[in-house]
Amino acid sequence: MGSYPPCITVMYSVPMLCPNTFEKLKCLVFRRARRDVGTKDRSFDGNFDLRFTANTIVRWKGHTASNVLRFILERGLDMRIGMVCYPTYGGSGVLATELGQELARRGHSVHFITYAQPMRLDRFQDNIYYHEVETPSYPLLEFNQYTLALAGKILDVARYEHLDVVHVHYAIPHAISAYLAKEIARTTTPFKLVTTLHGTDITLVGLEPTFHPIVKFSLEKSDVITAVSGFLQEKTRQSFGEDLPIKVIPNFVDTQVYKRGDCQNVEKRLRVDGEFVLMHVSNFRPVKRVHDCIRILAEVRKKLPARLVFVGDGPERSDAERLCRELNVEEFVTFLGKQSALPEILSAADIFLLPSQQESFGLSALEAMSCSVPVVSTSIGGIPEVVRHDETGFIAELGDVTRMARYCVDLLSNPKKLAIFRENSRKRAVEKFDISLIVPMYERVYEEALASTVNG
Ligand code: GMT
């Protein structure tokens, strides 16, 4: 490798920074410089004209010290991030897409790598790129080779887009595909691997005896592991290794987008004859227990006029429609199917129902709370980390539809209490889970991974 033209001169004022901050700054500056000349070769750092002097200001490409330092220390340098997720209707894909969009707004380049356009990636945005994974077919390849095709695509994007980090959402099979790509790229175009665990990748699918050792291995080989709740952190340690370093980074919501707004049109359509509106949003998988929502409605209707609005679609929908007919509540249930205008729709709800059997966090509950909708849910998994019992909603035992219905009636028949719960819900979403609080946690994770030498 020849010598590179110096492109950055940094002069460092010794008393300004503590040693740790200084090391971090140095690492970030080198990385940016390597990118500017289009190399990942670390020997480049040795040739680089990075000068530290005792008492002068920092200068970087004509910017003043204070600007450069403020930018670097507050936000870090922009990174190139590969985002691997499921593009379909589901919490992990939604979260990955919104994370990518926010990182792009913050100046990073984000490359989505998946088999279809992520659902919420529905408009042009600067700094966002999408790379579709195509799975080659051949008569001999009877089964879909997605894991390998994904590894090949990650490798390709990492090489040609000079990715700093590949962030995979949902361990199976994304983490092992990314590990394979990372190993192949190790000497030429190294990148860091961040794995975010979302739920059933740990609590259900990952426990399958065939998958367990592969998930365990891919977690051990990740540079950083994050989990979306304390519950999931604990579960992962129990099932995959007590010593695994796992950071908790909760789900987030853009509270400027998810807020109670003018929903008169939606409300007119959904709130028939001034009845109360219960709502449930999910992908209708068995773990969501949508039939419990219908049983809750049937109970509530014994006391109050109420309707149930379902948003989403999935395997349990036909059974749910049948149960509505069986319980004679079909005329009080609306199935809207998949919808993208969630803030408007949620704004028309009085109570959000989440009777799940498994839920590592409950992103849909958070989105409802952000729209000032209290939640009645089970006490499963990470839900109690989101929903506060008797404050932002109510929590009951799994399957206890009678109790959940009683909680709904209690809230709906007490307008003052409902108003307080609404306010509490919104406040909790804004103060604890707003996008502006959580996305910097991911940025820090990337920066720390890039500054470390563990796992290459
Ligand atoms: O784990 C899953 O079932 C998949 C995942 C998804 O893609 O829908 O859902 C999980 O991820 C969400 C985002 O982190 C969490 O809010 C959900 O609670 C979680 N679902 C379950 O744990 C069932």
Order of strands across the sheet that contains 351-354: 333-335, 306-311, 276-281, 351-354, 375-378, 393-396
| Ligand 1 pocket, residue 362 CB under 6 Å | yes
Check residue 28 and give its pLDDT: 65
Centre of ligand 1 to C-alpha 273, Å, is: 35
Check residue 144 and give its pLDDT: 87
Looking only at the bridges linking them, the beta strands covering 246-248 and 224-227 are parallel
Residues 56, 111: one domain?
Answer: no
Check residue 93 and give its pLDDT: 94
Centre of ligand 1 to C-alpha 170, Å, is: 9
Residues 284, 367: one domain?
Answer: yes
Check residue 44 and give its pLDDT: 62
CATH code, domain with 170: 3.40.50.2000
Domain containing residue 388: 264-433
Centre of ligand 1 to C-alpha 197, Å, is: 9
Centre of ligand 1 to C-alpha 118, Å, is: 16
Determine, yes or no, domain membership for 194.
yes
Centre of ligand 1 to C-alpha 91, Å, is: 5
Check residue 362 and give its pLDDT: 97
Residues 143, 232: one domain?
Answer: yes
Check residue 51 and give its pLDDT: 43
- Cα separation, 382 vs 360, whole angstroms: 5
Tens of pLDDT, residue by residue over 428-449, are 999 999 999 999 999 999 988 9
Residues 398, 424: one domain?
Answer: yes
Give the residue among 303, 298, 313, 310 at the shortest CA–CA distance from 352.
Answer: 310
Residues 397, 443: one domain?
Answer: no
| Ligand 1 pocket, residue 312 CB under 6 Å | no
Determine, yes or no, domain membership for 213.
yes
| Ligand 1 pocket, residue 97 CB under 6 Å | no
Question: 228 vs 97, 195, 232, 426, CA distance in Å?
Answer: 15, 11, 7, 20
Determine, yes or no, domain membership for 9.
no
Looking only at the bridges linking them, the beta strands covering 246-248 and 375-378 are unpaired
Give the residue among 327, 280, 284, 285 at the shortest CA–CA distance from 308.
Answer: 280
Domain boundary among 75, 106, 126: 75
Check residue 55 and give its pLDDT: 31
The pair of three-digit structure tokens given for residue 63, joined into one six-digit string: 């910017």
Which residue has the CA at smallest separation from atom 3 of ligand 1?
Answer: 200
Residues 200, 91: one domain?
Answer: yes
| Ligand 1 pocket, residue 206 CB under 6 Å | no
| Ligand 1 pocket, residue 378 CB under 6 Å | no
Domain boundary among 51, 75, 99: 75
- Angle 368-374-375 from CA coordinates, rounded to 5°: 80
| Ligand 1 pocket, residue 202 CB under 6 Å | no
Check residue 71 and give its pLDDT: 53
- Cα separation, 309 vs 360, whole angstroms: 23
Supply the pTM of this predicted model: 0.85
Check residue 7 and give its pLDDT: 42
Check residue 119 and give its pLDDT: 80
Cis peptide before 415 (omega within 30 of 0): no
Check residue 49 and give its pLDDT: 46
Centre of ligand 1 to C-alpha 451, Å, is: 30
Residue 443, helix vs strand vs coil? helix
| Ligand 1 pocket, residue 90 CB under 6 Å | yes
Strand partners, 128: 110
- Cα separation, 242 vs 76, whole angstroms: 32
Residues 182, 240: one domain?
Answer: yes
CB-based contacts of 165, cutoff 8 Å, min separation 6: 79, 80, 81, 82, 191, 192, 193, 194, 446, 449, 450
- Angle 281-286-287 from CA coordinates, rounded to 5°: 75
Determine, yes or no, domain membership for 6.
no
- Cα separation, 65 vs 103, whole angstroms: 25
| Ligand 1 pocket, residue 228 CB under 6 Å | yes
Nearest atom of ligand 1 to the alpha carbon of 358: 23
| Ligand 1 pocket, residue 227 CB under 6 Å | no
Determine, yes or no, domain membership for 313.
yes
Per-run averaged pLDDT (10 residues), the chain, 456 residues: 42 48 63 63 57 38 52 63 90 95 93 91 88 90 92 96 95 98 93 96 95 98 98 98 97 96 80 91 95 98 97 95 97 94 94 97 98 98 98 98 98 97 98 96 91 61
- Cα separation, 125 vs 52, whole angstroms: 38
- Cα separation, 200 vs 204, whole angstroms: 5
The pair of three-digit structure tokens given for residue 250, joined into one six-digit string: 């909760």
Centre of ligand 1 to C-alpha 89, Å, is: 11
Determine, yes or no, domain membership for 277.
yes
Residues counted in the chain: 456
Residue 236, helix vs strand vs coil? helix
- Cα separation, 380 vs 398, whole angstroms: 7
Ligand 1 pocket test, pick from 248, 282, 361 with the greatest ligand atom count within 8 Å of Cβ, gives 361
| Ligand 1 pocket, residue 387 CB under 6 Å | no
Residues 415, 291: one domain?
Answer: yes
Centre of ligand 1 to C-alpha 198, Å, is: 5
Domain boundary among 31, 54, 75: 75
DSSP string computed for 393-428: EEEE-TT-HHHHHHHHHHHHT-HHHHHHHHHHHHHH
Check residue 214 and give its pLDDT: 98
Ligand 1 pocket test, pick from 84, 198, 361, 366 with the greatest ligand atom count within 8 Å of Cβ, gives 198
CB atoms within 10 A of CB 270: 18
